[in-house]
Amino acid sequence: MAERITNAFTCDVEDYFQVSALAPHFPRDTWENVPCRVERNVERILQMLDEHGARGTFFTLGWVADRFPQLVRRIADAGHEVASHGYAHERASALTPGAFTADISLAKAVLEDITGRAVTGYRAPSFSIGEANLWAHDCIAEAGYRYSSSVYPVRHDHYGIPDAPRFPWRLENGLVEVPVTTLRAFGRNWPAGGGGFFRLLPYFVSRWQIARVNAQDRQPAIFYFHPWEIDPGQPRVRDAAARTRFRHYVNLERTESRLERLLSDFSWGRADEVFRDAA
């Protein structure tokens, strides 16, 4: 019998009003006046992980860490990896190299000051490293990170490099890119690593995809989601575009139970440990 593969469970720690698609409705200079829900949601995620004996990686916004340092310490003290999601949830593709480096360096410093531990992993908001801004990988390496999980090898209207490697690969600068999991079928890559597709499609689809990557590719999967995805009680932005509302709110009430099943059906660990040999 083949040994069970440990997959990487990752959470992008941001609040509902910081999502890129809702940016027109929540300008950054108004964030301080918006009630936060991230602490309660992350606490529930930590509880679920503990109940299943699982570990994970929390790609955390510096903005959130500055306001909830005790939450970041709880994540680290529970044995999970604290990694960086940048400071202000600005898409890498919207910044100059200098501004991008300043953002990811500040986030790293904030998280390391809170935890007293090295922060080696980074994920760009909205997987915003594409063919037009591959220079960002050099900035990430220069800022002192060892790995990035910022490229999604799919075709999508907001992100993606469809022909990028599906599994971890090392750049010339030494940085390791760990792409979110995809399934190869019918001549293209299909999203298989969580996010909105985990909420939109029936649970058995995600389970089948991850199991197939483990069995057929003999590779660990990397799964991602956000704390607001287990929070059906979050305020609704009624004047957002219909497509945005659908993508953000579909099946929020089902996500927590699906995560419980996912944690039971597979073995889960931290990204820095699951992909240690790659990095």
Structural domain contains residue 48 = yes
Structural domain contains residue 279 = no
CATH of the domain at 92: 3.20.20.370
Q: Return d(Cα 216, Cα 265) in angstroms, integer.
A: 17
Structural domain of residue 81, as residue ranges? Answer: 6-274
- Each residue's pLDDT, cut to its tens digit, for the chain (279 residues) gives 357 899 999 999 999 999 999 999 999 999 999 999 999 999 999 999 999 999 999 999 999 999 999 999 999 999 999 999 999 999 999 999 999 999 999 999 999 999 999 999 999 999 999 999 999 999 999 999 999 999 999 876 566 688 899 999 999 999 999 999 999 988 899 999 999 999 999 999 999 999 999 999 999 999 999 999 999 999 999 999 999 999 999 999 999 999 999 999 999 999 999 999 875
- Assess contact for 264 and 46: CB atoms under 8 A: no
Q: What is the pTM of this model?
A: 0.96
Backbone dihedral angles phi then psi of residue 261, each to the nearest 5 degrees: -65, -40
- Assess contact for 191 and 209: CB atoms under 8 A: no
Structural domain contains residue 1 = no
- Assess contact for 62 and 84: CB atoms under 8 A: yes
- Number of domains comprising the chain: 1
Structural domain contains residue 59 = yes
